[in-house]
Amino acid sequence: VEKYAVIGHPIAHSKSPLIHQAFALQFGKTIVYEKVLAPLDGFASTVQQLQQQGYVGANVTVPFKFEAYDLSQTLSERAQAAGAVNTLSFGQTQIQGDNTDGCGLVNDILKHHQTALAAKKILLLGAGGAAQGVMLPLIAQGPAQLTIANRTQDKAQAMLDKFADAGGQCGVSLAVTTFAALTETYDVVINATSAGLTETPLQFSSHVFGTHTLAYDMMYGRETPFMQQARTAGAQVADGLGMLIEQAAEAFFIWHGLRPDTAPVIQTFR
């Protein structure tokens, strides 16, 4: 039986084993998929142990996605762009790193929120690891405009600079702004800040939301101040559960070469 794991700290809350088992069931496959708690200073040795025990691959979650990037001997283009790895494949000789988070976000928006991103005006809130992880897949959809707003504007500018070439190639107008300077309305607003972990509201005008706007919070499991603000403004609101399941589906495809049906799995987890 092929063995997989999700490595994090903490890890008890992870839904990845249930999601991957649900996918495996769709194909009549039997897999082992375990939660592995790595010590904060022991990610590399944990990976080594899994390899020695014959594991085929592992997902990586907080706070190890950057260490997983460093540990990978080959990196997909999207993992390179993200600067982080959430999916490891243990080859005979090499550890391959990929990142399916951005693809998961885009697929959730396209498939389950019936919203195309091509030619749209997108606002991305945040410039941390989560935001950088979704930049390339968003740009690849060919939106008309992708604006990054962050509390710390320098950080947003530094992130944007990394994607200037990709933006140019895809004909996407990239811009950086502060929360306070946001005045326009966007077709899609994505919250990639970690502010939703607290009750701290983000300080920006509700004018960013129209009634046609998809307001997407990458967080799931709770109604964040961002979601409340968007709902009050009449926007269509989405949480990150679909992204979680779509990123898992992409990892499943990397490992098994099979594309699971995600809609029923999202339904089950609602």
Active site residues: 65
Nearer to ligand ATR, 80 or 178 (CB): 178
Report the residue number, 134 or 237, with the smaller CB distance to ligand ATR. 134
Give CA angle at 218 (171, 75), nearest 5°.
60
Residue 125, CB half-sphere, CA atoms under 13 Å: how many? Answer: 28
User: Is 42 annotated among the ligand-binding residues?
Assistant: no
Residue 111 marked in a binding site: no
Q: Which of 62/116 has CB closer to ligand ATR?
A: 62
Tell me whether residue 86 or residue 262 sits nearer to ligand ATR (CB atom). 86
> Annotated binding residue at 107?
no
Cα distances (angstroms) measured from residue 122 to each of 9, 94, 147, 172 = 32, 37, 6, 10
The Cα 169–Cα 254 span in angstroms is 26
Nearest approach in angstroms of CB 62 to ligand ATR is 7
d(CA 211, CA 184): 13
- Cα 121 vs. chain centroid, distance in angstroms? 19
* Residue 126 known to bind ligand: yes
Shortest Cβ 155–ligand ATR spacing (Å): 4
Residue nearest to ligand ATR (CB): 128
Please, what is the minimum distance in Å from the beta carbon of residue 135 to ligand ATR?
A: 12
Beta-bridge mates of residue 167: none
What SS3 class is residue 94?
Answer: coil
Q: What are phi and psi of 101, to 5 degrees?
A: -65, -50
Q: What is the three-class DSSP state of 150?
A: coil
Q: Which two structure tokens, joined as six digits, stand for 105?
A: 């976000």
141: annotated binding-site residue? no
- Least separation in angstroms between CB 149 and ligand ATR: 9
DSSP structure class, residue 270: -
Note the residues at the interface with ligand ATR (CB under 6 A). 126-131, 150-152, 155, 193-195, 200, 202
Residue set of the binding site: 14-16, 61, 77, 86, 101, 126-130, 150-155, 218, 220, 240, 247
Per the annotation, binding residues for shikimate are 14-16, 61, 86, 101, 220, 247
Binding residues for NADP(+): 77, 126-130, 150-155, 218, 240
